[in-house]
């Protein structure tokens, strides 16, 4: 395998060259620990020689993103950033934009390359390196090796893992309001944006507000076509998780949508909330929310949820699903002019309030009323249903130090 590399202005080494390991065999992992921030890829090997090369296909390795242990831990581990290995060395054949033919590198320093062609030597200063291009060597896969050395050749079980932010997962939801029964559908979406393909006998997902590597490493230490088995809900270290013990295959650059669970809903109530004060004259839209209830527990992991509309005006509404109680949750969908509140002053400290519902179904409404007099605030509230395609009129009245509201 060969790879042509170009260097751009101001870059001291080769520019983010793709390792192209997706063209070779996938990395075989023992387990994938997925989070929204990245994934820990866990592998194991049996060391038998004094020196063993193992795959570690990352572009930049941070100490906090690497973990290892061995039965005999007196080991030396080394790894070198691939960019340094891809940089030109003596005898590398290069091409220079604007120069004819190929040139051979005869000397390399931090600020200058000395090039030769047919006995002619020319310097190429650092500020001209963007004109370089050359072919990376044949054994490109070896550029990503972790070298493990032990003092003597012996059998030594070795486990290691690396954290890769380009491999991640996310939990998403969709709300089906047209089915019978209505359902909240939980999906797990897997992303492999790395330059290598992966296979593993299983995977797990945990959602954490802490840094992904820290959370996933603690979990780990305690315990081709894209193909992955749907996971099941679980719990680890007090966190809600999803886990699958079925093989997973994630080619480089792939995404997989997995259906986890369809939670049947016993009811979906449409709520509209309004704030009104006695100086208000304009018609205002309601703040729309959906209250979901189920006879069984709803999913314990938060995530974005899509509500299908598809009415030739709006395609989808998206909000955040946050579990509240085990069997209920509320989705906030913002303002909606399908339910509005209008007000009309009647004189004598009285107002007519009109709730209008343009939906084809009944909705629940709540109005919070306020009257400000200097620093004094009189308050009242009322909750009531409004039938499909109908309106309800209310009468608000300000008495002596009291604000009241009632249906007309």
CA angle 58, 62, 66 (to 5 degrees): 75
Instruction: Please name the helix (run of DSSP H) or strand (run of DSSP E) that holds residue 233, with its range, or none.
Output: strand 232-236
The residues facing 245 across adjacent strands are none
- Domain 269-291+330-407 = CATH 3.40.50.800: no
CA angle 5, 24, 193 (to 5 degrees): 70
Report the pLDDT value the prediction gives residue 13, as an integer from 0 to 100: 25
DSSP assignment, residue 227?
B
> Other CB atoms closer than 10 Å to residue 215's CB: what's the count?
21
Report the pLDDT value the prediction gives residue 239, as an integer from 0 to 100: 72
Report the pLDDT value the prediction gives residue 138, as an integer from 0 to 100: 42
Report the pLDDT value the prediction gives residue 344, as an integer from 0 to 100: 94
Any idea of the CA torsion for 68, 71, 75, 77, to the nearest 10 degrees? -20
The residues facing 206 across adjacent strands are 241
DSSP 331-392: EEEEEEEEEEEEEEE-SSSEEEEEEEE-SSS-EEEEEEEEEEETTEEEEEEEEEEE-TTEEE
> Other CB atoms closer than 10 Å to residue 21's CB: what's the count?
21
Report the pLDDT value the prediction gives residue 45, as an integer from 0 to 100: 96
Specify whether the backbone of 192 is left (phi greater than 0), alpha (psi in -120 to 50) or beta.
beta
DSSP 287-333: EEEEEEE-SSPPPSS-EEEEEE--SSS--EEEEEE-EEETTEEEEEE
The rounded distance, in Å, linking the Cα atoms of 236 and 229 is 20
- Measure Cα distances from 324 to 98, 175, 209, 239 in Å: 66, 17, 17, 15
Report the pLDDT value the prediction gives residue 35, as an integer from 0 to 100: 93
Upper half-sphere CA count for residue 243 (Cβ side, 13 Å): 12
Contact between residue 265 and residue 236 where contact means Cβ atoms under 8 Å apart: no
Domain positions in the chain:
3-163, 269-291+330-407
Backbone angles phi, psi at 65, to 5 degrees: -105, 20
Report the pLDDT value the prediction gives residue 25, as an integer from 0 to 100: 81
Report the pLDDT value the prediction gives residue 15, as an integer from 0 to 100: 24
Q: Residues for the chain: how many in total? A: 408
Identify the segments of the chain with pLDDT beneath 50.
1-23, 138-143, 209-225
């Amino acid at each position: 395998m060969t790879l042509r590399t170009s260097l751009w202005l101001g870059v001291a080494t080769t520019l983010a060259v793709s390792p192209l390991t997706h063209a070779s065999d996938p990395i075989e992992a023992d387990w994938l620990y997925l989070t929204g921030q990245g994934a820990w890829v866990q592998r194991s090997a049996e060391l038998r020689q004094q020196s063993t090369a193992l795959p570690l296909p990352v572009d930049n390795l941070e100490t906090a993103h690497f973990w290892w242990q061995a039965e005999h831990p007196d080991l030396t581990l080394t790894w070198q950033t691939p960019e340094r290995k891809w940089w030109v060395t003596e005898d590398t054949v290069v091409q220079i934009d604007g120069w004819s033919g190929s040139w051979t590198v005869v000397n390399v320093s931090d600020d200058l390359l000395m090039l030769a062609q047919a006995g002619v030597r020319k310097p190429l200063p650092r500020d001209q390196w963007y004109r370089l291009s050359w072919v990376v060597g044949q054994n490109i896969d070896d550029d990503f090796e972790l070298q493990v050395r032990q003092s003597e050749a012996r059998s030594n079980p070795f486990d290691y893992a690396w954290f890769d932010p380009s491999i991640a997962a996310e939990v998403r939801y969709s709300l089906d309001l047209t089915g019978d029964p209505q359902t909240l559908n939980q999906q797990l979406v897997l992303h492999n944006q790395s330059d290598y393909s992966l296979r593993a006998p299983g995977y797990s997902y945990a959602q954490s507000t802490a840094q992904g590597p820290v959370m996933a490493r603690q979990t780990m230490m305690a315990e081709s076509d894209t193909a992955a088995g749907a996971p099941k809900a679980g719990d680890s270290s007090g966190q809600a998780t999803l886990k699958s013990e079925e093989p997973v295959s994630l080619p480089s650059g792939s995404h997989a949508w997995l259906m986890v669970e369809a939670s049947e809903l016993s009811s979906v109530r449409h709520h509209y909330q309004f704030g009104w004060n006695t100086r208000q004259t304009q018609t205002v839209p309601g703040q729309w929310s959906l209250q979901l209830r189920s006879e069984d527990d709803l999913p314990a992991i938060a995530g974005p949820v899509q509500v299908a509309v598809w009415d030739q005006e709006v395609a989808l509404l998206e909000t955040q699903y946050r579990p509240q109680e085990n069997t209920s949750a509320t989705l906030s969908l913002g303002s909606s002019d399908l339910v509005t509140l209008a007000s009309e002053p009647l004189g004598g400290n009285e107002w007519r309030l009109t709730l209008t519902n343009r939906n084809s179904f009944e909705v629940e409404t709540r109005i919070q009323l306020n009257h400000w007099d200097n620093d004094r605030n009189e308050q009242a509230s009322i909750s009531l249903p409004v039938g499909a395609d109908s309106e309800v009129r209310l009468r608000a009245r300000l008495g002596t130090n009291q604000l009241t509201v009632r249906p007309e």
